[in-house]
Structures are given as C-alpha cells and as structure tokens.
Amino acid sequence: DPLDNPRSLPSRIVGRTVLIVSSLIALVSVRDLFFPGTILSFLPRDDIYLEWTGAFLHSPPPDSVEADEQGLEAPLFAGDKFVSQLMGLYLCLGCLLKFVSAFGWSKGNRVMGIIAGKRVENVERSGVVSSRLIWRTQAFGDMMLLGMLRLFTPAAKTASLDLRWHLMLVAYEMFILALYGFW
C-alpha cells in the first residue's frame, strides 16, 4: 500500500498547497529582503504594492520619478528599510519551514527490526507527528497574517490595490494546514 510506505510524504494535498501559495509569498518576500523597491513586472499591480507599502521611500528605483523626488531623503528611511527586510526574512523563514514540513521528511519508520525470526513492527510516524505540529503552528501564523491583510484591506482599496486574491490564497492555505494539522 503506497499510503503505508514510510518514505512517502505526510500529505500530498498539503504539499501542493504549500508549493503554490508559499512559493508566491516567498518570491515577494525574497524580493523585499534582497531587492527592496524593485518592481517585478510579471506581478500585477506590483508598483502600487511597493508604493503603498512605502518601499519607494527607502529604495526608489533608479531613473524614476520617485528617485528624483525622494532620492536625497532615502537614507533617512533606513529604519523602515530594515523593518521591511526583517519582515521579508521572517516570511521567508516561515515559507522554508512549510516547505520542509511538506517535502523535507517522510512519514517515518514502520519496521523496527527482526527479533527471533519474527518481524517486529513499530508504527512510529515521527514525520507525520512533526509535520502536524508545524502545520498547526503555521496555520496560526497564517491566521495572524490573514488578520493583518484583512485589517489593511480598506486602506489598500484607496490606493487601488486589491487584496482579495491575497486574502483567498492565505485563507485557503490556512484552512488546509489547520485541517491536516488538527484532524
């Protein structure tokens, strides 16, 4: 039975969900961490996101209107840049932990060994237990991230930044992690 294989993943559904949602979160977080103020052209409304989050204040793109207007003031916002990069680091580490819990280890060992010619089984599923603990914690972290996104949705709408897709993706990941983490 492939489900009893100790080398299989704890949950394929969680793995796919984490791969889709957390890779998008990690992509934006890595950009915020290493390349603040850089516009990713394939992300819709990324320039509005960067303007709304204040990234253009501390890291205006070169040869742009923002660089002309705020280029001399940018070093004064070094603290904002540090906090932005720190948040990007925290989100990257959270995504890495989700990736490792979904893909990094297997279910665990089933066969303990052979004693006196008989096969002794140990249904120890340390991989599943570890993954479920991480998924519970990450579901709580996604719930807090969802609360923060929901809190700033009205303010984002005034800047023409639609956070509905962000909310739906994080809510779906939170639901799947909580479902497989608690049940």
Residue 3 has pLDDT above 60, yes or no: no
> At 1, is the pLDDT very low, low, confident or very high (cuts 50, 70, 90)?
very low
For residues 139 and 178, is the Cβ–Cβ distance under 8 A? Answer: yes
| Among the listed residues 71, 34, 20, 28, the one whose alpha carbon sits nearest the alpha carbon of residue 177 | 20
Region of poorest pLDDT, from 80-89, 144-153, 154-163: 154-163
Measured CA to CA, the distance from residue 120 to residue 12 in angstroms comes to: 28
CA distances from 110 to 104, 122, 177 (A): 18, 5, 25
**Closest to 88 measured CA to CA, from 151, 158, 37, 16:** 37
Per-residue pLDDT at 130: 82
**Arithmetic mean of pLDDT, 90-109:** 86
Which of 74-78, 79-83, 140-144 is predicted most confidently? 140-144
Total-model pTM: 0.77
Confidence band (pLDDT; 50, 70, 90) for 178?
very high
Question: Residue 173: pLDDT band by 50, 70, 90 thresholds?
Answer: very high
Name the token pair of 58: 């501390």
Closest CA to 123 of 112, 114, 136, 137: 112
* pLDDT 10s digits, 106-148: 776 555 556 667 765 555 567 788 888 899 999 999 999 999 9
Length of the chain measured in residues = 183
Say which residues have a Cβ less than 8 Å from residue 40's Cβ, sequence separation at least 6.
Answer: 27, 28, 31, 46
